[in-house]
């Protein structure tokens, strides 16, 4: 009886702890959403005012953001285009590389994998200058291609797919080869379906990284019509006018695409992260 009581108390304590952690995580979203419905003068009256007083809530920030002179919808579309292309191509190409490093034995495989590990340790910021010089040489400054190409294949995603593919049954590939399936066919028809959790997990992570990417697009992009959403929202804050209400309103709307992607791939996310982290 005492053991059962201790188990129940432990479960209750865990639930309370997770509820507290959940509230802490959700609090910034609450602040962002509530602040989006307040004018800037009310938002910073007596410190940060995030009360839900109905008399202070207004839709003016949304109206000005969506109907004003800024290019919010253009920024939104640019970010969607870049995120979709980057995520799709990155996941596909990185899965090819990771699968090859895990399944095939060829000369230089360990060296290539060692370079992948080395690149994982290199901060992206120190690559900005050489990458920018390459974009100038290729004539890709102020283009979507200049934003997408340098990060189209990332070492982390290659490493993840390699680790995941190491746990796949090799006997299935041998059986497919005996049945006359080509190497590419083995990957597409046999192995790729078993790697769906990895695809789901990496699609979420790559989409989030691309959607929230600020520094590299800021370096490459020049014209207002090509700006991505993070840069466009940052432009609302200036020494001559701090539109914090519109900034928080626009930030609230930016959560929607990532939320949709997560809901679509969530059933694969946990399985993909777990298996990819422990295999090999």
Counts for the chain of helices (H) and strands (E), in that order: 15, 2
- Does the pTM surpass 0.85? The reply is no
Structure tokens that stand for 8 in this block: 């129940």
Rounded alpha-carbon distances, angstroms, from residue 254 to 70, 111, 159, 247, 259 = 16, 41, 29, 11, 9
Predicted confidence at residue 8, as pLDDT, reads 82
Give the chain's domains with CATH numbers: 59-278 (1.10.3720.10)
180: left (phi > 0), else alpha (psi -120 to 50), else beta?
left
Written as one string, the DSSP assignment of 147-186 is: HHGGGSS-HHHHHHHHHHHHTS-HHHHHHHHHTT--HHHI
pLDDT tens by residue, 161-199: 998 888 888 888 888 888 788 888 888 888 888 888 888
pLDDT tens by residue, 69-93: 778 888 889 999 999 999 999 999 9
Q: Which helix (H) or strand (E) holds 204?
A: helix 196-212
Cβ 226 vs Cβ 144: under 8 Å? yes
């Amino acid at each position: 009886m005492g053991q059962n009581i201790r188990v129940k108390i432990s479960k209750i304590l865990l639930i309370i702890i997770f509820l507290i952690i959940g509230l802490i995580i959700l609090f910034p979203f609450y602040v962002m959403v509530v602040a989006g419905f307040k004018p800037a003068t009310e938002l910073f009256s007596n410190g940060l005012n995030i009360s839900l007083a109905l008399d202070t809530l207004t839709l003016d920030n949304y109206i000005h953001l969506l109907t004003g002179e800024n290019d919010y919808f253009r920024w939104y579309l640019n970010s969607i285009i870049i995120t979709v292309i980057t995520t799709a191509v990155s996941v596909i190409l990185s899965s090819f590389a990771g699968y090859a490093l895990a399944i095939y034995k060829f000369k230089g495989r360990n060296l290539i994998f060692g370079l992948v590990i080395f690149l994982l340790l290199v901060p992206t910021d120190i690559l900005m200058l050489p990458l920018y010089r390459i974009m100038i040489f290729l004539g890709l400054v102020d283009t979507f291609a200049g934003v997408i190409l340098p990060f189209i294949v990332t070492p982390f995603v290659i490493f993840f797919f390699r680790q995941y593919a190491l746990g796949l049954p090799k006997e299935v590939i041998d059986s497919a080869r005996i049945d006359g399936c080509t190497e590419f066919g083995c990957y597409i028809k046999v192995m790729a379906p078993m790697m769906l959790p990895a695809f789901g997990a990496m699609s979420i992570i790559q989409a989030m990284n691309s959607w929230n990417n600020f520094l590299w697009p800021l370096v490459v992009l020049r014209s207002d019509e090509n700006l991505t959403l993070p840069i466009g929202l940052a432009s609302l804050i200036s020494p001559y006018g701090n539109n914090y209400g519109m900034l928080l309103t626009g930030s609230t709307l930016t959560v929607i695409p990532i939320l949709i992607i997560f809901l679509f791939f969530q059933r694969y996310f946990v399985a993909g992260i777990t298996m990819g982290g422990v295999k090999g």
